[in-house]
Structure 1
Amino acid sequence: MDITEENVHGKWKEFILTNDHGMSVSILNFGGIITNMIVPDKYGKCENIVLGYNNYADYENNTNYLGAQIGRVASRIKDGSFHLNGSHYELAKNEGTHHLHGGPNGFHQIIWESGTHQSEHEVNLVLTHTSKHLENGYPGNLDISVTYTLNNSNELTLNYQAASDHDTPVALTNHTYFNLSGDMTDTVHNHRVQFDSRYFAELDEELIPTGKLIETTDTPFDFRNGRLLGDGLKSETTQQIIAGNGYDHYVMFGSEKAVTVSENNSGRTMKIHTNAPGVVLYTANGLDEGLKLNEGLSQKYAGVCFEAQPHPAALHHEGFPNVILQTEEKYHSYIKYSFE
């Protein structure tokens, strides 16, 4: 096990966590961004399986949120506003009239405080930050920590903790784009995905949840028996056309909060375990094309995101898991990525 630190882009630090089996994860203190994730394939060949920019400077305007930590609240908040405890809050609007992924100065755009720890069986990077009262419009001083832990079982775990001195919405997640093939010139059409998907949130033309939760049965959103992403990407349902001919939807878990993703050519399988109530499945339908990435130019469907989180549609609609962190509560969520 090892953890090293490098200065990059003249002002950031990049931490490289490495285990004894050829897996490594590279993380910036800027945005908590995962820039590389090296994982062996079925032949033992180690390749990068996440999308990242070739030039570190491109992360400064990371409108695709490649690899970034997202907060205070992931996903879109309708009209960039909400009511809480009798008060009205206006948030920074960075997608038309709406608020997306914490706003223009969200957690993907800050330099986090950092600390490391190493033991025989795992290495840890801890990033911390205090988001000030009314920053981007949110109430409360919010203390956050994100701990990245890599062990010798080829498991990367992200542990989120937070506390606030005001009641405030919190829904933290990571926005890494995965491509298990290790060939970033390939798309994710041949990635097979399986999870206990029970309901998905219907979207309007601006990708804002309407408040309606639709059963996944007999839809492209039913992954309970597993399906290739390509099958859904070929679908011409209204919901997928709205999302740019793909997935960009919040899907709620049933009893099992886990996702299994596999890619046959490489033989890689990734299992995601979380305590989040659902996941935003995003197949990079809106990924800007022609960006200079580590492995070549970006293209539509070049990666897939599994943004495990509660959803801020709860601020405007019933039926969605709560996103309000009370002052007397401690926020804790985790996402664990296991590779075989």
Structure 2
Amino acid sequence: MRTMNIDRMAIAAIALGVSLPALAGEVKREPAGTLADGTQIEAVTLRNGAGVSARILSYGATLQSLIGPDREGKFADVLLGYDDLKSYVDHPNYFGTTIGRYANRIGNAAFMLDGRRYALPANNNGQSLHGGDKGFDRVAWRVVSAKGGPVAEVVLTHRSPNGDAGYPGTLDVTVTYTLDEAGALTIAFDAVTDKPTVVNMTNHAIFNLAGEGASQGALQHRLTIPAKAYTPVDATLIPTGALQPVAGTVFDFRTPRTVADGIRDGKDPQIVAGRGYDHNFALDKGLTRTPELAARLEDPASGRVLDVLTTEPGVQFYAGNFLNGTLVGKRGHLYRMGDGIALEPQKFPDTPNKPAFVSARVDPGKPYRHVMVYKLSVQR
């Protein structure tokens, strides 16, 4: 685990979520490798004055690393993933990638829009998952700008043509990462279309706040999700369409609870269906204009805290249930079940087939926008 000491003022600023004076974000661009077709991939590192950094690959507009201090001032990368481009290409597992056109699952790999049926790639047990077998996570994005200043920023773009993965409309997409002096990494997803379509984008970072590859995994992290209800799923992990109250169940995270407390509760059929937690929560805040809290993850051992904020109405909580020890990640770490936790803000799964859910429709002249925040801090 990479470690570094920083001064007490910087640690205190991160802990309190305040800016340090006379500090500015820095940006570093460098080659990250070449795809089989000759496309060159870049890596852009954003760093704030307190030493918090985020590294973004143009392949998949991927958040490759997020490095921050613990309560002792030691830095560690808190994201599961790979050290090199080749592993992201050869062993895709959505580690930190931008997900689209539609994050999460669409039932029976199809949906209706304006009376027409659109068939999608069935890449997950007959369902379409995360945009199909070549979603936004598996394409080369273009870095259009990268700059320092009061915040460090990189902007990436991608054009998804009409009919791409079965979706209607040519979609021009922009993803903007910004890192501020308080340790907040903001990710803004913007898209415009030339015909009606559906869009649901997120980032699929998988966190271990003890440091990726830490032997204790992430199941002892404490989680808070401000949601009175979640969307139960069928045996194929497609929402039934109901909103199920969390009260009295292992899905009640309205007050902080250790993830391990309910993840093996085989008496709950929803835990059995998901092999643990792999469910969308209907946030009490709903769809909002500015990002509001979707989840808080705390590692009592290191003191690291992650707040996830979003403008979207839902957050998918996935506890790494399908990490089965076959993937070798950063620094040769073998990733196993429970080694990381994903908190993915988004529209609800299968929304195009569930009219009662908040619509994912996007029309010409009415751009799509989702703003989410990963904010690292330290608890003393």
State if a TM-score over 0.5 links the two structures: yes
Residues 41-56 of structure 1 aligned to structure 2 (within 5 Å):
41-56=70-85
Q: Which residue matches 2:211?
A: 182
- In 2, the alpha carbon distance for the partners of 1:29 and 1:118 equals 15
- In 2, the alpha carbon distance for the partners of 1:307 and 1:61 equals 23
Contact 2:326 2:335 (C-alpha < 8 Å) held by counterparts: yes
Q: Secondary structure at the match of 1:111?
A: coil
Aligned: 1:211 with 2:241 = yes
The gaps in structure 2 that reach 5 residues or longer are: 1-24, 35-39, 286-291
Residues 103-118 of structure 1 aligned to structure 2 (within 5 Å):
103-118=132-147
Q: Which residue matches 2:313?
A: 277
- In 2, the alpha carbon distance for the partners of 1:254 and 1:181 equals 29
Residues 140-289 of structure 1 aligned to structure 2 (within 5 Å):
140-182=169-211, 184=213, 185-236=215-266, 237-244=268-275, 246-255=276-285, 257-289=293-325
Contact 2:96 2:206 (C-alpha < 8 Å) held by counterparts: yes
Contact 2:29 2:43 (C-alpha < 8 Å) held by counterparts: yes
Structure 1 stretch 250-259 or stretch 320-329: which is displaced more? 250-259
**Match for 2:273: what amino acid?**
I
Contact 2:156 2:174 (C-alpha < 8 Å) held by counterparts: yes
Contact 1:193 1:260 (C-alpha < 8 Å) held by counterparts: yes
Q: Secondary structure at the match of 2:260?
A: helix
Structure 1 stretch 43-52 or stretch 210-219: which is displaced more? 210-219
Q: Which residue matches 1:138?
A: 167
Aligned: 1:292 with 2:324 = no
Aligned: 1:92 with 2:121 = yes
Which of 339, 345, 362 aligns to 1:302? It is 339
Q: CA deviation at 1:157?
A: 0.2
- Shift in alpha-carbon separation, 1:142–1:183, aligned structure 2, 3 A: closer
- In 2, the alpha carbon distance for the partners of 1:148 and 1:282 equals 23
Q: Which residue matches 1:3?
A: 27
Which of 346, 356, 368 aligns to 1:319? It is 356
Contact 1:64 1:288 (C-alpha < 8 Å) held by counterparts: no
Which of 52, 56, 69 aligns to 2:98? It is 69
Contact 1:55 1:292 (C-alpha < 8 Å) held by counterparts: no
Q: Which residue matches 2:366?
A: 329
Contact 1:54 1:292 (C-alpha < 8 Å) held by counterparts: no
**Match for 1:57: what amino acid?**
K
- In 1, the alpha carbon distance for the partners of 2:104 and 2:248 equals 26
Contact 1:312 1:323 (C-alpha < 8 Å) held by counterparts: no
Contact 2:312 2:346 (C-alpha < 8 Å) held by counterparts: yes
Contact 1:196 1:258 (C-alpha < 8 Å) held by counterparts: yes
- In 1, the alpha carbon distance for the partners of 2:61 and 2:347 equals 20
Q: Secondary structure at the match of 1:103?
A: coil
Q: Which residue matches 1:81?
A: 110
Identity of aligned residues (%): 33
Q: Secondary structure at the match of 2:305?
A: strand
Contact 2:264 2:271 (C-alpha < 8 Å) held by counterparts: no
Contact 1:197 1:221 (C-alpha < 8 Å) held by counterparts: no
Cα deviations by residue, 1:46-96 (Å, 9 ceiling, x for unpaired)? 100000113431101344211110000001111111111111111122113
- In 1, the alpha carbon distance for the partners of 2:212 and 2:190 equals 34
Q: Secondary structure at the match of 1:240?
A: helix
Q: CA deviation at 1:312?
A: 3.9
**Match for 1:219: what amino acid?**
T
Q: Secondary structure at the match of 2:309?
A: strand
Contact 2:103 2:349 (C-alpha < 8 Å) held by counterparts: yes
Contact 2:280 2:349 (C-alpha < 8 Å) held by counterparts: no
Q: Secondary structure at the match of 2:177?
A: strand
- In 1, the alpha carbon distance for the partners of 2:158 and 2:137 equals 12
**Match for 2:326: what amino acid?**
G
Contact 2:26 2:47 (C-alpha < 8 Å) held by counterparts: yes
Q: CA deviation at 1:328?
A: 2.6
Q: CA deviation at 1:339?
A: 1.4
Q: Which residue matches 1:338?
A: 375
Q: Secondary structure at the match of 1:239?
A: helix
Q: CA deviation at 1:220?
A: 1.2
Q: Secondary structure at the match of 1:230?
A: helix
- In 2, the alpha carbon distance for the partners of 1:291 and 1:115 equals 32
Cα deviations by residue, 1:223-279 (Å, 9 ceiling, x for unpaired)? 1111111112132211011111x1111111003643111101100111111111010
Q: CA deviation at 1:315?
A: 1.6
RMSD: 1.4
